[in-house]
Every structure is written in C-alpha cells, then in structure tokens.
Amino acid sequence: MAKNEERFDVPDSGRYYDALRSLIEKEQISKVRWAMLCHLFEAHNRTATYSELAIAAARAGGSVPKEQPHTYANLEFGKLGKLLGQTIGMEFLPNTKRDGPFYSSSIGADSSIRPRRAEYELVMHHELAKALDRLLREGFTKGINTLERGK
C-alpha cells in the first residue's frame, strides 16, 4: 500500500448483523434489493456481475429493462449499499468512474481476478456474509420477501 493510500476498513459481522436486523425491522429493504443481496451471498465465491444481480432482481419482480439491465442493478444495489453503510456509519470507497462514493463498497469490493474487458464483478465482504448467514440461520429473514417498501 502506498503511503498516501488509506486503508478501507470493513465493519465486523456484528455491526453488519445489527444494521441489517434494524433495516429489516424497519421494513427498509425491498424484496428486490434483498433478492440481489441473497444472490450475491449464494453465488460461487460470493461473486456476481451486475447483470447477474439484475436477473435476481427481475425474478423478484423488479422492473429491469432489457437494454443494459446492469444499470438497474447498479442503481438499486447502490441504494441498498448507501443505506447499509450509513446505518453502520462506515465510509465508502471512492467511485473510480464518476465523482462521489462507491456505495456498493459497503457490500463488497471488485474482484481481483476479473479478465480484461470482462464485466465488473462484485465480491461480497466476508464479514457481511457472516452476518447474513447468522440472520438466515436464526430465521429472522423469513418474512422479508413480503416487504414491498424500501428506500
């Protein structure tokens, strides 16, 4: 790491768990965003493209456009990432393609093994995966797919 680079700290699983539980209790996670999060959690190596996340969103009833579906997933996952990160109180990585933060950095980071010119792949943070595993094992999320609200 270069001297001028700051370290990106991923919250521990307890902070993720508390934040997710709070957001679920307040019905702030829509079923579409939850479906995308679960898809990433269940994906091989917890890695997915935004096009794959868009397919998960469409299966959950999201209005995903046929043209460039990854843009829909990027927007929706970014909103979830912003909400999750702000609930935890974390700082986001900077966005490398536009001004502002990369809100999905509260959920994961880019894959280091992506082939050149391949679609961007997001890898879920291990600590978030541990929190999701705990929520699922506890059965706390059973009713989430009925949630229609979500900011």
Is residue 107 one of the residues assigned to a domain?
Answer: yes
Is residue 2 one of the residues assigned to a domain?
Answer: no
Q: Cα angle at 29 between 24 and 30, to 5 degrees?
A: 130
Is residue 149 one of the residues assigned to a domain?
Answer: no
Total tally of structural domains belonging to the chain: 1
Q: In the predicted model, is pLDDT for residue 146 greater than 60?
A: no
Is residue 7 one of the residues assigned to a domain?
Answer: no
**How many CB atoms are closer than 10 A to CB 104?**
27
**How many CB atoms are closer than 10 A to CB 94?**
12
Q: What is the pLDDT of residues 108-121, one digit of tens each?
A: 988 777 666 678 89
Is residue 121 one of the residues assigned to a domain?
Answer: yes
Place 148 in a pLDDT band, splitting at 50, 70 and 90: very low
Tell me how far apart the alpha carbons of residues 116 and 7 are, in angstroms, rounded to a whole number.
25
Q: What is the pLDDT of residues 58-67, one digit of tens each?
A: 999 999 999 9
Is residue 88 one of the residues assigned to a domain?
Answer: yes
Is residue 126 one of the residues assigned to a domain?
Answer: yes
Is residue 146 one of the residues assigned to a domain?
Answer: no
Tell me how far apart the alpha carbons of residues 150 and 96 are, in angstroms, rounded to a whole number.
27
Place 6 in a pLDDT band, splitting at 50, 70 and 90: low
CATH number at residue 102: 1.10.10
Strands (E), the chain: 47-49, 93-94, 101-102, 108-110, 121-124
Q: What is the pLDDT of residues 72-107, one digit of tens each?
A: 999 999 999 999 999 999 999 888 888 889 999 999
Domain limits for position 47 = 13-141
